[in-house]
């Protein structure tokens, strides 16, 4: 039972449990095709943008802040990458790097506003969200542009036996694992756990928040590039759903919104859970809706109902987020939680 004890104290437990449940149901409705490498590949390539967005959101949430601008930041990255490569004929590498830089800069801007101007992140990122989506619309007023087929084939293909997107995600996870080993990784959780105590122990709170937002902006940039590679085109509205979905993934993954407790592992599980839900609903309706007489005529209503019900069920289970040091349960006291967890 050592595994259970280890799992039980992991903040990401609800995320992992939900994901396991979703995987089992998905296998049930999809059949053995689930186990094909192509299926794994399509799940990861389609959901990589959300997974990255969830990682970006987690880092900010760990400091006790929130970032509403992730969706529009991804859109900005998408439009810049497409515009530079298509209209100005920059090489793909150069335009994508510039787009990544722009995404990071948005993160820096958020960080400066939140940390130094001390505007609550809910307000600050709400306003940057509008500004950034306006910028994206200015960069690329209407959908268009293409990505070279080598790029999107590589994105949707394999690298050394595994889907390319798995490698991309693994790289970011490794990067975060390294950061977590340095003091700054611990500071991020400390600031989110209890800001005053962190301040009293000499942590420079502004710098920590600035760092978290910058890192988040960088990962959001990667998310935007993944989205660009997946969609192979630009669209000034494409990132819209990612803002709220990334927050949902974070909550599903067991990270608490007040900060300090959680980790990116759970958020990745949460994002995959959301992806699998649409998969499940697809197969449920594709394979079984015909068996129930009458449902065929209105099935699209039920799809919405079902997928949203599953998500609500998942979000409700966030109640079980382990907030005490060693197990599941509602918090009695808030401790300064700085446990390492990925």
Partner 1 sequence: MSKKVASWLVLLLTMVAAVSLALSVANAKDTKKNGFNVALLNGTNSNAWRLQMEQNMQTVANKYKAQGIIGKYSVFVANNDATTQAQQMQQLINSGVDAILINPVSATSLSPLIDKAVAKGILVMGIDQHISHPKVISVTTDQYAWAKIQAEWLAKQIDKKGNILQFDAIAGAPANDVRHQAYADVLARYPDIKVLKLVNMDWDEGKAKQLMTTLLSAYPNFDAILCQDGAAVGIINALQEAKHPLPKAITSDEWIAYLRLWHDLNQKNPGKPLNAIIVENPPGIGADGLQIVVRLLQGKKLKSGVLTSDPSDKGNKNAILIKPTLVITNANMEEWYEKTKDKPDTYYIDSVLSQKEIDKLFN
Return the CA Rg of the chain. Answer: 20
Is residue 299 at the binding interface for partner 1, with CB under 8 A as the rule? yes
By beta-carbon proximity to partner 1, the closer residue of 282 and 320 is 282
Is residue 195 at the binding interface for partner 1, with CB under 8 A as the rule? no
* SS3 per-residue string spanning 166-210: HHHHHHHHHHHHHHHHCHHHHHHHHHHHCHHHHHHCCCCHHHHHH
Torsion of CA 196, 201, 202, 207, to 10 degrees: -50
Part in contact with partner 1 (CB under 8 A); list of ranges 11-19, 100-108, 192-200, 302-310: 302-310
Part in contact with partner 1 (CB under 8 A); list of ranges 56-64, 166-174, 197-205, 283-291: 283-291
Is residue 176 at the binding interface for partner 1, with CB under 8 A as the rule? no
First vs last C-alpha separation in the chain: 21
Using DSSP, how many helices (H) and how many strands (E) does the chain show? 14, 2
Binders of partner 1 in range 226-245 (CB under 8 A): 227, 230-238, 240-241, 245
Helix (H) or strand (E) holding 158: strand 158-159
Return all residues near 245 (Cβ < 8 A) that are at least 6 apart. Answer: 50, 53, 54, 271, 274
CA atoms within 13 A on the CB side of 307: 19
Is residue 340 at the binding interface for partner 1, with CB under 8 A as the rule? no
State the minimum distance, in angstroms, from the CB of residue 250 to partner 1. Answer: 17
Q: How far apart are CA 76 and CA 171, in angstroms?
A: 23
By beta-carbon proximity to partner 1, the closer residue of 57 and 307 is 307
Is residue 222 at the binding interface for partner 1, with CB under 8 A as the rule? no
By beta-carbon proximity to partner 1, the closer residue of 99 and 198 is 99
Q: How far apart are CA 308 and CA 116, in angstroms?
A: 38
Query: And the tokens for 231?
Result: 């969609």
By beta-carbon proximity to partner 1, the closer residue of 34 and 320 is 34
C-alpha closest to that of 342 among 39, 47, 62: 62
Is residue 131 at the binding interface for partner 1, with CB under 8 A as the rule? no
Length of the chain: 342
Is residue 152 at the binding interface for partner 1, with CB under 8 A as the rule? yes
Is residue 267 at the binding interface for partner 1, with CB under 8 A as the rule? no
By beta-carbon proximity to partner 1, the closer residue of 48 and 210 is 48
Torsion of CA 117, 74, 244, 192, to 10 degrees: -40
State the minimum distance, in angstroms, from the CB of residue 1 to partner 1. Answer: 6
Of 33, 122, 159, 201, which one interacts with partner 1 (CB under 8 A)? 33
Is residue 144 at the binding interface for partner 1, with CB under 8 A as the rule? yes
Part in contact with partner 1 (CB under 8 A); list of ranges 1-9, 116-124, 171-179, 189-197: 1-9
Is residue 130 at the binding interface for partner 1, with CB under 8 A as the rule? no
Site size with partner 1, rule: CB under 8 A = 64
Is residue 141 at the binding interface for partner 1, with CB under 8 A as the rule? yes
Q: How distant is the alpha carbon of residue 180 from its chain centre?
A: 18
Q: How far apart are CA 163 and CA 156, in angstroms?
A: 7
Binding mask 72-111 for partner 1 (x = CB under 8 A): ----------------------------------------
Instruction: Match 């389609």 to its residue by tokens.
Output: 46
Q: Rule CB under 8 A: which residues touch partner 1? A: 1-4, 24, 27-34, 38-39, 42-43, 46-47, 49-50, 137, 141-146, 149, 152-153, 156, 227, 230-238, 240-241, 245, 275, 278-279, 282-283, 285-287, 289-291, 296-297, 299-301, 303-304, 307
């Amino acid at each position: 039972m050592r595994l259970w004890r280890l799992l039980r104290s992991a903040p990401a437990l609800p995320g992992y449990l939900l994901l396991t449940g979703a995987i089992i149901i998905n296998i049930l409705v999809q059949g053995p095709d689930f186990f094909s490498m192509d299926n794994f590949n399509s799940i990861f390539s389609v959901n990589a943008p959300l997974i990255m967005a969830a990682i970006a959101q987690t880092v900010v949430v760990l400091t006790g802040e929130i970032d509403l601008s992730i969706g529009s930041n991804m859109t900005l990255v998408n439009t810049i990458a497409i515009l530079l490569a298509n209209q100005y004929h920059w090489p793909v590498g150069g335009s994508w790097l510039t787009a990544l830089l722009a995404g990071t800069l948005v993160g820096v801007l958020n960080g400066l506003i939140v940390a130094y101007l001390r505007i609550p992140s809910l307000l600050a990122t709400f306003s940057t969200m509008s500004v950034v989506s306006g910028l994206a619309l200015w960069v690329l007023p209407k959908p268009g542009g293409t990505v070279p087929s080598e790029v999107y084939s590589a994105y949707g293909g394999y690298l050394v036996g595994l889907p390319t997107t798995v490698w991309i995600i693994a790289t970011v996870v490794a990067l975060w694992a390294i950061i977590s080993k340095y003091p700054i990784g611990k500071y991020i959780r400390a600031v989110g756990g209890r800001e005053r105590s962190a301040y009293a122990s000499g942590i420079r709170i502004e710098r920590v928040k600035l760092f978290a937002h910058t890192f988040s902006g960088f990962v959001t940039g990667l998310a935007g590039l993944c989205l660009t590679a997946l969609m192979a085109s630009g669209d000034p509205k494409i990132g819209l759903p990612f803002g709220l979905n990334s927050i949902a993934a974070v909550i599903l993954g067991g990270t608490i919104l007040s900060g300090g407790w959680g980790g990116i592992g759970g958020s990745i599980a949460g994002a995959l859970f959301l992806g699998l839900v649409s998969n499940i609903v697809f197969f449920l309706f594709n394979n079984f809706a015909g068996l129930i007489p009458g449902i065929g005529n209105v099935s699209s209503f039920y799809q919405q109902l079902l997928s949203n019900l599953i998500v609500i069920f998942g979000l409700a289970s966030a109640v079980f987020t382990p907030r005490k040091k060693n197990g599941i349960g509602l918090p009695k006291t808030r401790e300064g939680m700085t446990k390492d967890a990925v």
